[in-house]
């Protein structure tokens, strides 16, 4: 997870509230927001987290709800000054639009991670196509993920069954 801004006066999460910046966050109903809140509370403390979340940018025209897909537009159009989301997403934005975005890693955030999962349909319309896609995906993911800043997986994690709650 990372904070991101257009040319930085932000070096960590506490800089956002201190500078009066507006931060793009997922809507309160989004599960990711709850995970971010837990992580931010642990990283900078509850009082600083309150100030950070109080600096949330409001919704912008054309959106009923805010999710991570809206963050690049919010920052690029000036609706927000900074966004908080996963490292690999911001890494992607900075590669695509290096003049608009900057990646600012959050120290200590590496201990808060999200599992990446692949779901299989129970009754596929085209079973051969499903098998071909899985072979392709699992044959490439181990090499491609690290190149694009997605989490590395060890042999035990890669292609392991993920237990659902």
- Tens digits of residue pLDDT in 100-130: 888 888 888 888 876 666 777 888 899 999 9
Confidence tier at 38 by pLDDT (50, 70, 90): very high
Three-state DSSP at 114 gives coil
Residue 54 has pLDDT above 90, yes or no: yes
- CA-CA distance, 156 to 83, in Å (whole number)? 33
The gap from C-alpha 147 to its chain's centroid, in whole angstroms, comes to 17
The gap from C-alpha 34 to its chain's centroid, in whole angstroms, comes to 13
- Tens digits of residue pLDDT in 61-98: 777 778 888 888 899 889 999 998 888 888 889 989 89
Alpha helices (runs of H) in 97-155, residue ranges in sequence order: 127-147
Residue 7 has pLDDT above 70, yes or no: no
Residues near 80 by beta carbon (within 8 Å), at least 6 away in sequence: 22, 23, 24, 57, 71, 74
Domains and their CATH numbers in the chain: 2-111 (3.40.190.10), 115-165 (no CATH)
């Amino acid at each position: 997870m990372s904070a991101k801004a257009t040319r930085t006066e932000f070096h960590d999460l506490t800089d956002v509230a201190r500078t009066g910046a507006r931060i793009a966050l997922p809507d309160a109903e989004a599960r990711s927001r709850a995970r971010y809140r837990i992580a931010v509370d642990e990283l900078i403390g509850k009082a600083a987290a309150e100030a950070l979340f109080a600096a949330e940018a409001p919704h912008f025209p054309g959106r009923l709800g805010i999710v991570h897909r809206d963050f690049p537009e919010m920052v690029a159009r000036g609706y927000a000054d900074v966004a908080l989301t996963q490292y690999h997403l911001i890494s992607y934005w900075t590669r695509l639009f290096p003049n608009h975005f900057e990646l600012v890693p959050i120290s200590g955030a590496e201990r808060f991670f999200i599992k990446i999962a692949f779901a299989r349909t129970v009754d596929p319309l085209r079973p051969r196509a499903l098998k071909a896609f899985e072979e392709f995906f699992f044959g490439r993911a181990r090499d491609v993920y690290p190149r694009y800043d997605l989490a590395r997986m060890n042999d035990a994690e890669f292609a392991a069954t993920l237990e659902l709650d």
